[in-house]
Amino acid sequence: MTSSVILSARGLTRHFGGLKAVDGVDFDLAQGEIHALIGPNGAGKTTFVSLLSGRIPVQSGTITLDGADITRKPAHARVRAGIAYTFQITSIYARLPVFDNVALAVQSRHRGDPGPRARAALARVGLETRGAQQAGTLSYGHQRLLEVAMGLALEPKVLILDEPTQGLADSEIETFKALVRSVAPETTVLLIEHNMDVVMDLAQRITVLNFGQRLAIGTPDQIRADPQVQSAYLGDTV
């Protein structure tokens, strides 16, 4: 890799009884890239990013962020260190105004007035006129954008997006892709996504997991052409 590594995992492992959800995975995320993580259902993708973000403790292996060992740091400490993780299912505060959702995210990492950062994050995702609206009344697509705004408000080094286009209309997907492109390379993006059109259009590199292990890593063209990936996952989808 020619770019500097912002996030690195070595031998990352997490077993649940006899299930090897993540089994000795090595992974490098380059500074400023858009990197996709793909694989069949049950491949270990969500467990893997939960290990990276600290939502699940590591069984063995190491994780470094910007050169610092964060393997044993809890999730809230990793947020302060610069990792923001938006969940597969929207995790907004439905009864609070849109603005307050983002302001609370800001206050989890920064002291002082959260207003400027919250307003900037909402503007970034196109929700600047909806700050007073109750978050639970937003459309599903706008709720996903609000979740991204909450992540961006943390000013993360790494933004992890878990199935962000799930349930979005085609027009909303185009808006999302434009947003991700605008975020990088200032922020490094790790994208967990089943929509292969989105993956192939956005990602500069792709890592494929299968049965908890890394099956392949490469550019979109390399992943498309990989016989193992075609057999395990892609088939005729791309």
DSSP 77-97: HHHHHTEEEE-SS----TTSB
What is the percent of the chain where pLDDT is above 70? 95
Cβ-based neighbours of 60, under 8 Å, separated by 6 or more: 11, 12, 13
Q: How confident is the model at residue 230 (pLDDT cuts 50, 70, 90)?
A: confident
Q: How confident is the model at residue 105 (pLDDT cuts 50, 70, 90)?
A: confident
pLDDT, mean over the chain? 90
The half-sphere exposure of 179 on its side-chain side, counting CA atoms within 13 A, is: 27
Q: At what angle do helices 170-183 and 115-124 cross, to 10 degrees?
A: 130
Instruction: Kindly state which CATH superfamily the domain 5-234 is placed in.
Output: P-loop containing nucleotide triphosphate hydrolases (3.40.50.300)
* pLDDT tens, residue by residue, 180-197: 999 888 999 999 998 999
CB 12 within 8 A of CB 61: yes
State the pLDDT at residue 90: 54
- As a whole number of Å, the end-to-end CA separation of the chain is 26
- 42 in helix, strand or coil? coil
Cβ-based neighbours of 167, under 8 Å, separated by 6 or more: 140, 141, 144
Looking at per-residue pLDDT, the higher value among 108 and 115 belongs to 115
The residue among 232, 196, 236 whose CA lies nearest residue 211 is 232
User: What is the mean pLDDT of the segment spanning 14-34?
Assistant: 94
β-strand pairing of 188-192 with 158-162: parallel
CA atoms of 10 and 12, how far apart (whole Å): 5
pTM of the entire predicted model: 0.89
State the pLDDT at residue 234: 66
* pLDDT tens, residue by residue, 116-161: 999 999 999 889 999 999 999 998 888 888 999 999 998 899 999 9
Domain ranges of the chain: 5-234
State the pLDDT at residue 225: 92
The residue count of the chain comes to 238
State the pLDDT at residue 1: 45
CB 150 within 8 A of CB 101: yes
β-strand pairing of 34-38 with 188-192: parallel
CB 99 within 8 A of CB 118: yes
User: What is the mean pLDDT of the segment spanning 43-58?
Assistant: 93
Q: Where are the beta strands (DSSP E) in the chain?
A: 5-16, 19-30, 34-38, 60-65, 68-69, 83-86, 158-162, 188-192, 205-210, 213-218
User: What is the mean pLDDT of the segment spanning 92-101?
Assistant: 94
User: What is the mean pLDDT of the segment spanning 30-45?
Assistant: 93
What is the percent of the chain where pLDDT is above 90? 64
Q: How confident is the model at residue 236 (pLDDT cuts 50, 70, 90)?
A: very low
